[in-house]
Chain A
Amino acid sequence: MIQHLASLPILIPMLTGVILLMPPCGKNLYIRRVMSVIMAVITVLISAGLLVYVNDTTPLVYAIGDWSAPFGIVLVADRLATLLVLLTSLLGAVVVLYSCAGDDKKGSFFHPLVHFLILGVNGAFLTGDVFNLFVFFEVLLIASYSLLMHAGDKHNTRAALQYVILNLIGSSVFLIALGVLYGVLGTLNIADLAQKVPLLTGDDVYLAKIGGLLLIVVFALKGALLPLHLWLPNTYASALPVVAALFAIMTKVGVYAMLRVYTVIFGDNAGELAHMAQPWLWGLALATIVMGAIGVLASQDFRKLVANLVIVSVGTLVALVALQNVAATAALLYYLVHSTIVCAALFLLADLVALQRGKVADRLVAGRAVAQPFLLGISFVIAALTVVGMPPLSGFVGKIWILKSTLDSEKAMLFWPIYLLASLAVLVAISRAGTSLFWDHKHKDSDAIKGVNAHPLKVIALMTLLICSPLMVIFAGPVSEFMLATSEQLFDINSGINDVLHGGQ
């Protein structure tokens, strides 16, 4: 009975999406909101339950339709997958709560689309089959296309068009890569692929290498890695901020896919193809950090600045993926959770600030004072300290851990200066942004607008995200132990294969 738990983080958002489309939820806004929030919270609880269960035992392998791997599709709920599922569900719940304050009325079908997006992201994390990964990518993409258009204006249409076309090309490349891999290896199950890649000989090695490297293109596009990152700032800045906050998890899907594919399939055990993606990922990741940092410095409005912060964080994460050792991956996981939450919080904060500043919105110029300087100012300070990586918040722990885990490798010579200079750039840009958003009132009508105080639901949603940062520091001991265990489990490739293909015997 308990093995069905692994399928629930996918099934519940799907059912919720359908229920929300039908009466009475389809007609009545109030019922729809209540239903949406309740189901989002249930998804969080189920994901948390799954995490607690999986933490104590071996990975939960769920064979869909009871067709055992490698013939059927399996869902594999190991620590890594469930951690990310919990993160997604939490972010989804916060976004649903935030949108109930009015953003969901600006277009149709907001709530069902959010739940479908959660379905796609959770599915992408849980699946143990690369073709199924493609299917879940498409599910999350089509939901994201529609969410991107939610409450959109003309600028939005252009950004959405470019985003959709790019992702359609990405999907084609993904399918070509999968076709090559299937043609050579005769399987698409991740564990089975990992088992068969070392056995390749002759020309097949090169074909598999082509397939594996084509996957980098796809994941780099999803994760916004240089040179395929150009869509991200425009897309995120033109989406509704609450949607952009939810999109903070989507780049992490690309990073997760890289981590899974290049650690398990083309990792230590892959014979001739071991670590084949490493040089590519390493170089591109460092370049991404640099480009992101330049983007952060050059941003003229706050949402674009946060979008560029997402790029910096993707660069950092992929650099750690490229290191391919247990310590770096544990640091990566801590940083991934931290950066997703803080970027989402910053997008929400950008929305609150923009609403209170009237016409200048979130552009970094002199403008009106905000109506609630204390609330928003404190939130900004917390978020800024977290994202810059200053003590005492989670960014600092993450940063120290990343630096420590890279210390021993010879690559530290290159990584440390770039990473630390990028942090400095972020510090400068964030301080400048905060100064002009909160203190610069040389505008002709600089008085705060009356009666634009933030909706309580929005404040609760923002605080839920912000509180995660101190919590990750207070519980840094257990959290870091968990991340280490997760990372060890990921790198224990043989027992992972055994769990999936032979039921752990």
Chain B
Amino acid sequence: MEVLYASCVGVLVACGIYLILRARTFPVVLGLTMLSYAVNLFLFSSGRLTINKAAVLGSGSEYADPLPQALVLTAIVIGFAMTAFVVILSIRGRADLGNDHVDGHLVKSSKEQK
């Protein structure tokens, strides 16, 4: 299970980094989303991967660590809000700059270059 889980995180991070390095905003936003999925999975695993263990209840000696779940929940909420913001900002950037380059030039200057 660990191998599968770790490779999932690894592949997601690799895809995320590749997409973040693209020049246009849409792939970059997708890359950020992938990276935040990978981070959430990674945080979840920081409490150790266990099967068939109870939540903290009564006096059981074996239980799953509840804290990473709380951390992941916080990270998901924050990541969601930030992604929403960056999507809106990209759309505005497309409208303001006339192109969707992350390092975008203004329309006027790009015409001059032509």
> Which residues of A does B touch, CB under 8 Å?
131, 135, 138, 142, 145, 149, 154-155, 157-158, 160-162, 164-165, 168-169, 171-172, 175-176, 178-180, 182-183, 188
Which of B20, B38, B85, B90 is the one whose CB lies under 8 Å from A142?
B85
In angstroms, how far is the closest chain B Cβ from the Cβ of A130?
A: 11
Assess the A160–B97 pair: CB atoms within 8 A. Answer: no
Q: Which of A145, A158, A168 contacts B97 (CB 8 A)?
A: A158
Could you write out 14 A-B pairs with CB less than 8 Å apart? A135-B78, A142-B82, A157-B93, A157-B97, A158-B104, A160-B89, A161-B89, A161-B104, A165-B32, A175-B42, A176-B42, A179-B45, A179-B68, A182-B68
Closest to B82 in A: A168
Interface pair A164/B85, CB less than 8 Å apart: yes
- Tally inter-chain residue pairs, CB-CB below 8 A: 88
Instruction: Check A157 against B67 for contact (C-beta < 8 Å).
Output: no
The distance from the CB of B48 to the nearest CB of chain A, in whole angstroms, is 8
Contacts A138-B78, A168-B82 given; does A161 touch B68 at CB 8 Å = no
Extra inter-chain contacts (6) besides given A157-B96, A164-B85, A176-B42, CB under 8 Å:
A135-B78, A138-B82, A161-B86, A164-B86, A175-B39, A183-B47
Inter-chain contact A176/B39, CB cutoff 8 Å = yes
Q: Pick the residue among B36, B67, B68, B81 that contacts A172 (CB under 8 A).
A: B36
Where the two chains meet, the residues of B that have a C-beta atom closer than 8 Å to any C-beta of A are: 20, 25, 28, 32, 35-36, 38-39, 42-43, 45-48, 67-68, 71, 74-75, 78-79, 81-83, 85-86, 89-90, 92-93, 96-97, 102-104, 106
Contact B102–A135 (Cβ < 8 Å) = no
CB distance from A161 to the nearest CB of B (A): 5
Contact A168 B32 (CB under 8 A): yes
Question: Is the Cβ of B78 less than 8 Å from the Cβ of A161?
Answer: no
Task: Give which listed residue, B25, B42, B90, B102, contacts A179 with CB less than 8 A.
Answer: B42
A-B interface, 10 closest residue pairs, ranked by CB to CB distance from nearest: A183-B46, A179-B46, A157-B96, A179-B43, A154-B96, A175-B39, A182-B46, A172-B35, A172-B39, A138-B78
Give chain A residues whose Cβ lies under 8 Å from the Cβ of B46.
179-180, 182-183
